[in-house]
Amino acid sequence: MATNRTFTMIKPDAVAKNAIGGILKMINDAGFRIVAMKYTKLSTEQAGAFYEVHKERPFYGELVEYMTSGPIVAAILEKDNAVEDFRTLIGATNPAEAAEGTIRKIYATDISANAVHGSDSDENAEIEGNFHFAADEKH
């Protein structure tokens, strides 16, 4: 099960640009099924915990501030090879380096405000999905 799922967030910059619909269409058109989804706003505690792995990085403080600056959409997605295929769909962390046709190339502002999150491993997909959703919220 876990190997067929990934976790995503549509980040505050993309929500502010009114890009939720466009991004969800790209996700659906790429063959991902939405297993769980919510429109929410992260607290400083939640964003800090979610990005705990980056705690020692110089951008951590700014990242937490940015991720709490406005509402987000959190979702669990299902597809064969979900983690890898979704990372391909979103493109490189820095939109200046993202391939043509990727979500970040189309919608991201810069390396920080880069429109979407995508889990980097099956293990993290499960941890991140469970961070945002209870078992009975996944369908």
Q: How far apart are CA 90 and CA 101, in angstroms?
A: 9
Q: From the list ligand UDP, Mg ion, none, pick the one residue 111 interacts with, judged by a Cβ distance below 5 to 8 Å according to partner type.
A: ligand UDP
Q: Which does 93 bind (CB under 5 to 8 A by kind): Mg ion, ligand UDP, none?
A: ligand UDP
The binder of 39, among Mg ion, ligand UDP, none, by C-beta within 5 to 8 A per type, is: none
Q: Of residues 54, 117, 132, 139, which has the active-site annotation?
A: 117
Supply the minimum distance, in Å, between the C-beta of residue 23 and ligand UDP: 15
Of 69, 112, 121, 124, which lies in the binding site for ligand UDP, with binding defined by CB under 6 A?
A: 112
Instruction: Assess whether 117 carries a catalytic annotation.
Output: yes
Going by their DSSP bridges, the two strands 72-78 and 33-40 should be labelled as: antiparallel
77 DSSP β-pair partners: 6, 34
Instruction: Write out the residues near ligand UDP by the rule CB under 6 A.
Output: 54, 59, 63, 93, 111-112, 114, 117, 120
